[in-house]
Amino acid sequence: MFQRKSKHVLPGFRITMGFTLVYLFLIVIFPLLGLGIKASAIGWARFYEIATSQRVIASLRLSFGASLIAATINVFFGLVVAWVLVRYRFSGKRIIDALVDIPFALPTAVAGIALTTLYSSKGWIGVWLSPLGIKVAYTPLGIIVALSFVSLPLVVRSIQPVLEEFDPEVEEAAALLGAHRGQRFMQVLLPELAPAILTGFALSMARAVGEYGSVVFISGNLPMHTEIAPLLIVTKLEQYDYVGATAIAAIMLLFSFSILLGINLSQHWRRRRLAPALP
């Protein structure tokens, strides 16, 4: 007697999977495909022309450069913050923990106008800096500040779990072998933390390059000087230059996809490499 083997024990696979795929396609895949198709319809020559035009290059350089600096700043300070949160006990720790989450929870437009006002020449901080000749608002420096604000939690929350899970016996072993605090940090802790730090860095980059709301107020938006790539896309849209906007969008998409692919791949490799091969 032929018995049909039921593939799934629980019911509802077809309906949930079907709905998932349809919804995914309609909301995400289809629109992104649309962008991809329109971008490829531009043709290589025209695409190259747009991509290498001065204004576009300036905006990409600004977005990438500022993101790089902000991500690097946050690697240092993010490490300190994560360290303090994991290793120390002190009153007010909860406040620091909550502050780290603020850039996640606060809408970007609010952050944008607040940072701009803060660092403008009459703002609470700007007023101290302008006699020193340092201008933050409406300069690339302001962009870096805004991007640091936005990407801080990404770095801290990437490092924190790894630091928490770190086996204290490994540190003890290192100490007993003669390593003092600095040596323990540099030779034992930091190498363990390195992947998490890199992940935090990469996530920051991916986020910061595409950031709009927090940056567009403080950046001044002068073409060739303080115009970030996302803003350039918006400007081109307003001028009905759909081709230009699409081209830049395609470049940015490629960048963030490859970063996330890189992160996923490296985590996959690391899991395979560090997974015990023998019982």
Per CB under 8 A, contacts with other proteins among 140-199 are 145, 148-149, 152-154, 157-158, 160-161, 164, 167-181, 183, 187-188, 191-192
What x-and-dash track marks residues 105-144 binding other proteins by CB under 8 A?
xxxxxxxxxxx-xx----xxx-------------------
User: Cα(211)–Cα(21) distance, rounded to whole angstroms?
Assistant: 29
User: Cα(76)–Cα(82) distance, rounded to whole angstroms?
Assistant: 10
User: Cα(151)–Cα(218) distance, rounded to whole angstroms?
Assistant: 16
What is the crossing angle of helices 54-87 and 93-105, to 10°? Answer: 150
Q: Which amino acid is at 221?
A: N
Per CB under 8 A, which of residues 19..38 are in contact with other proteins?
Answer: 19-20, 23-24, 27-32, 34-35, 38
N-to-C CA span, the chain: 43
Query: Taking the complex as a whole, how short is the minimal distance between the CB of residue 66 and other proteins, in angstroms?
Result: 14
Residue 48 makes contact with other proteins by CB under 8 A: no
Per CB under 8 A, which of residues 1..20 are in contact with other proteins?
Answer: 8-13, 15-17, 19-20
- Contact region with other proteins (CB under 8 A), list: 43-51, 53-61, 127-135, 243-251: 243-251
Distance of CA 205 to the CA centre of its chain: 4
Q: Is 179 exposed, middle or buried (0-12, 13-18, 19+ CB in 10 A)?
A: middle
**CA dihedral of residues 61, 64, 66, 67 (deg, nearest 10):** 180
Binding residue for other proteins, selected from 62, 75, 233, 247, defined by CB under 8 A: 233
Residue 101 makes contact with other proteins by CB under 8 A: yes
**For residues 30 and 48, which CB has a smaller minimum distance to other proteins in the complex?**
30
Binding residue for other proteins, selected from 56, 209, 219, 247, defined by CB under 8 A: 209
Number of residues that bind other proteins (CB under 8 A): 121
In the structure encoding, which two tokens stand for residue 257, read together?
Answer: 């996809």
Residue 222 makes contact with other proteins by CB under 8 A: no
Query: Taking the complex as a whole, how short is the minimal distance between the CB of residue 166 and other proteins, in angstroms?
Result: 9
Query: Taking the complex as a whole, how short is the minimal distance between the CB of residue 264 and other proteins, in angstroms?
Result: 7
Residue 81 makes contact with other proteins by CB under 8 A: yes
Binding residue for other proteins, selected from 50, 62, 66, 203, defined by CB under 8 A: 203
Buried b (16+ CB within 10 A) or exposed e, 119-147: bbeebebbeebbeeeebbbbbbbbbbbbb
